[in-house]
C-alpha cells in the first residue's frame, strides 16, 4: 500500500462530527463570542454551522478528531458553557459532495440569530421560557421508563393512573426512517414538515397530552427544550413533561443494538443517518413501497421541497415526486390506495402511488378524454402549474416576459408562465428637458421625440379619470412635469380590466396563481 493511500485512510479514520448546544444566561457580548468561533474554527479547519443567540449556542461542525477535541477544550474555558453535553462521533470524511454542500459541510457558517431553534413562524407568538422545559431524563432512565411502561414515573411524580405518552418532536422526513416503539406506550408522531409547525399540532391535539405523562425526544435534545416548555406553559394538567437528554444520539450510544429505537437516526450533517447494529429498515420507497431508508440521493417533493425516499430502481432524471403531506392535501383524499407494480413500472417518471383520482383532483384536466396523457403529462403525472403574469404600468406582455426570462427558465420544469396585455392602450409621451443631452437610449429626455415607427405599444390596468382612451400613433409632449405619485390619480378603468381578465380566464384558464407588479392591485 502506498504512503499516500495510507495517509488518506488515516485521514478518514481521524475525521469526526461534533454536535452540542447550550442554553445559558443572556449573552451580552455576542460579537465577542462570534469572533471566538470564527477564529477558533477557522484555525482548526472546522466546517459546518454555528448559531449564536442571546440564549446560547447551537453548533454542528466537522473536521479532524484532534481539532474537534481542541475546540471542545477551548469552549470549556467559557464559564457560561459549563455542563455542556458535547456529542463527538468518529466518522468518514464527506464522500458525497452534493450532500456535504447541502448539509453545510463545505464551508464554515457562523450566524447570530434571534432564536437557536424557531418554535413558531408566527412573529406575534410568545416564545416560552426554556427554564420551564421538561425534566431531563438520561438514556438509561428513558429506557427504564419505556421498559416499565411508566411505573418509574408513577412512583417519582405522583402520577398514578396517568397514561404514558411518547411524543416525537422531529419532522416527518426524520421519523420516516426511525422512531421509538415500546409495548403499552402510545406513540404520537405529529408528521410535521418543519419544527415551527409543532405548536399548531400541539394546540390541535392538546387533549391527548392533558393530564398524562409526556416523554419527548428529538435528535440531540435542543428541540425538546423549547417544545416541552411550550407544553408546560399551558398550565394545569401539563406539568408531567419529560425529555430525553442528549436525544436519540445519546440513547443509541448507550444502547448500540437500538433498544426501543427502531430504524435509523436522521442527522443534519454529511452522515445523513446513523443506525444501530440492528439493520432493520422501517421505511419504504415512496413509489414502489420497497423497504428503503437512504436519503443520499436527496430526492425532494416537487411542491414543498421536503425530502422523500425514492429507491434506486425508481429514481429517474426529471422525475416528479409528491410527498405524503402534499398527497393528503389533495381535496377529498385523506389516504391513497396502494398500487402493486413491478420494477419496470416503477421506472415511470411519475409518482406511481398517485391514482387517476388523485391526478384528477390535483389537475384541472379532463381525464375522461382520450388525450389525458397530453393534458397532464401521462398517467400519474401532475401537470405543470399555469401562472398568469400581469405586467406593470406603461409596459406590455413582451417586456414583462423579457424581464422574467431568468425566472421562467428556472421554473420551466414545474410551471408555465402566461403573459397578457392590459386592455388600456396608452399614448406615447415624452418630457423635454432644457440643455438635455441627445441620448437615444433615454427618449423621455429628448427635446424632439423619436420616431414611433418601431415603438412597442404600452398598456395599463388602471388609467386617469381624464383619459380620453384614444390610441396615439405618435409621441406627444407631456403637459406637466413627471409626477412620481401619478399612480394615485389612475383609478379608472377597473371594469374594463376585470372584463378583460374574465375573458382570459374563460379562454386560456384555469390558472394556479398570478404573478404581478406595480398596478396589479385588482
Q: Catalytic residues, which ones?
A: 218
Strand ranges inside 28-152, DSSP E: 47-53, 56-64, 87-90, 108-112, 135-137
Helix (H/G/I), strand (E/B), else coil: 137: strand
User: If residue 409 lies in a helix (H) or strand (E), which one and from where to where?
Assistant: helix 405-410
Write the CB contacts of 240 (distance below 8 Å, at least 6 apart in sequence). 153, 157, 159, 162, 212, 213, 214
Is residue 424 classed as helix, strand or coil in its secondary structure?
strand
Q: How far apart are CA 230 and CA 238, in angstroms?
A: 10
The burial class, CB within 10 Å (0-12 / 13-18 / 19+), for 2 is: exposed
Strand 56-64, strand 15-23: pairing: antiparallel
H-helix or E-strand containing 389? strand 385-390
- For the purposes of burial, counting CB atoms within 10 Å of the CB of 189, is it exposed (0-12), middle (13-18) or buried (19 or more)? middle
What is the DSSP track for 123-161?
TTSPPPPGGGPPEEE-HHHHHHHHHTTTHHHHHHHT-TT
Three-class SS state of 395: strand
Q: How far apart are CA 159 and CA 152, in angstroms?
A: 10
Q: Give DSSP secondary structure letters for 196-211.
A: GGHHHHHHHTGGGTTT
Residue 374, Cβ density class (10 Å: 0-12 exposed, 13-18 middle, ≥19 buried): exposed
| 177 vs 281: CA distance, rounded Å | 7
Distance between CA atoms of residues 209 and 231, nearest Å = 8
Cβ count near 10 (within 10 Å): 10
Using the 8-state DSSP alphabet, how is residue 46 labeled? Answer: -
Contact 137, 145 (CB under 8 A): yes
Contact yes or no for 241/228 (Cβ under 8 A)? yes
Strand-pair partners of 62: 17, 47
Amino acid at each position: 500500500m502506498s504512503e499516500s493511500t495510507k495517509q488518506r485512510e488515516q485521514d478518514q479514520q481521524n475525521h469526526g462530527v461534533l454536535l452540542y448546544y447550550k442554553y445559558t444566561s443572556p449573552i451580552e457580548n455576542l460579537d465577542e463570542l462570534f469572533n471566538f468561533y470564527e477564529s477558533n474554527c477557522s484555525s482548526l479547519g472546522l466546517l459546518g454551522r454555528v448559531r449564536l443567540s442571546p440564549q446560547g449556542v447551537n453548533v454542528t461542525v466537522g473536521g479532524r478528531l484532534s481539532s474537534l477535541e481542541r475546540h471542545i477544550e477551548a469552549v470549556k474555558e467559557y464559564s457560561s458553557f459549563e455542563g455542556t453535553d458535547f456529542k463527538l462521533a468518529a466518522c468518514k470524511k464527506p464522500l458525497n459532495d452534493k450532500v456535504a454542500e447541502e448539509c453545510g459541510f463545505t464551508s464554515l457558517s457562523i450566524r447570530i440569530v434571534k432564536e437557536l431553534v424557531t418554535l413558531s413562524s408566527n412573529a406575534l407568538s410568545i416564545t416560552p421560557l426554556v427554564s420551564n422545559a421538561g425534566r431531563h431524563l438520561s438514556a438509561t432512565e428513558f429506557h427504564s421508563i419505556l421498559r416499565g411502561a411508566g411505573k418509574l414515573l408513577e412512583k417519582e411524580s405522583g402520577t398514578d393512573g396517568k397514561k404514558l405518552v411518547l411524543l416525537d418532536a422531529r419532522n416527518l422526513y426524520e421519523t420516516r426512517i426511525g422512531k421509538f416503539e415500546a409495548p403499552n406506550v402510545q406513540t404520537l408522531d405529529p408528521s410535521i414538515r418543519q419544527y415551527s409547525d409543532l405548536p399548531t399540532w400541539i394546540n390541535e391535539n392538546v387533549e391527548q397530552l392533558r393530564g398524562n405523562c409526556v416523554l419527548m425526544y428529538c435528535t440531540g435534545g435542543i428541540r425538546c427544550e423549547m417544545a416541552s416548555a411550550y407544553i408546560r406553559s399551558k398550565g394545569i394538567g401539563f406539568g408531567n413533561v419529560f425529555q430525553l437528554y442528549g436525544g436519540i444520539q445519546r440513547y443509541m450510544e448507550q444502547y448500540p443494538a437500538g433498544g426501543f429505537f427502531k430504524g435509523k437516526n436522521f442527522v443534519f450533517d454529511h452522515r445523513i443517518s446513523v443506525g444501530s447494529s440492528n439493520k432493520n429498515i422501517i421505511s419504504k420507497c415512496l413509489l414502489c413501497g420497497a423497504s428503503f431508508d437512504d436519503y443520499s440521493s436527496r430526492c425532494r417533493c416537487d411542491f414543498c421541497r421536503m425530502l422523500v425516499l425514492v429507491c434506486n430502481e425508481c429514481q429517474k432524471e426529471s422525475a416528479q415526486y409528491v410527498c405524503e403531506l402534499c398527497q393528503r392535501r389533495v381535496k377529498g383524499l385523506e389516504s391513497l390506495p396502494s398500487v402493486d407494480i413491478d420494477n419496470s413500472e416503477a421506472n415511470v417518471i411519475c409518482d406511481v402511488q398517485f391514482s387517476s383520482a388523485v391526478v384528477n383532483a390535483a389537475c384541472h384536466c379532463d381525464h375522461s378524454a382520450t388525450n389525458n396523457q397530453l393534458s397532464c403529462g401521462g398517467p400519474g403525472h401532475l401537470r405543470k402549474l399555469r401562472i398568469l403574469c400581469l405586467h406593470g404600468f406603461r409596459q406590455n406582455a413582451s417586456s414583462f416576459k423579457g424581464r422574467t426570462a431568468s425566472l421562467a427558465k428556472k421554473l420551466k420544469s414545474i410551471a408555465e408562465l402566461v403573459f397578457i396585455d392590459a386592455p388600456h392602450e396608452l399614448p406615447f409621451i415624452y418630457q423635454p428637458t432644457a440643455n438635455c443631452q441627445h441620448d437615444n437610449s433615454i427618449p423621455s429626455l429628448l427635446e424632439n421625440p423619436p420616431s414611433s415607427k418601431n415603438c412597442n405599444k404600452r398598456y395599463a390596468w388602471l388609467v386617469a379619470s381624464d383619459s380620453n382612451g384614444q390610441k396615439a400613433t405618435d409621441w406627444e409632449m407631456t403637459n406637466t412635469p413627471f409626477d412620481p405619485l401619478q399612480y394615485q390619480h389612475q383609478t379608472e378603468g377597473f371594469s374594463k380590466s376585470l372584463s378583460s381578465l374574465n375573458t382570459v380566464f374563460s379562454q386560456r384558464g384555469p390558472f394556479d396563481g398570478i404573478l404581478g407588479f406595480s398596478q396589479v392591485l385588482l
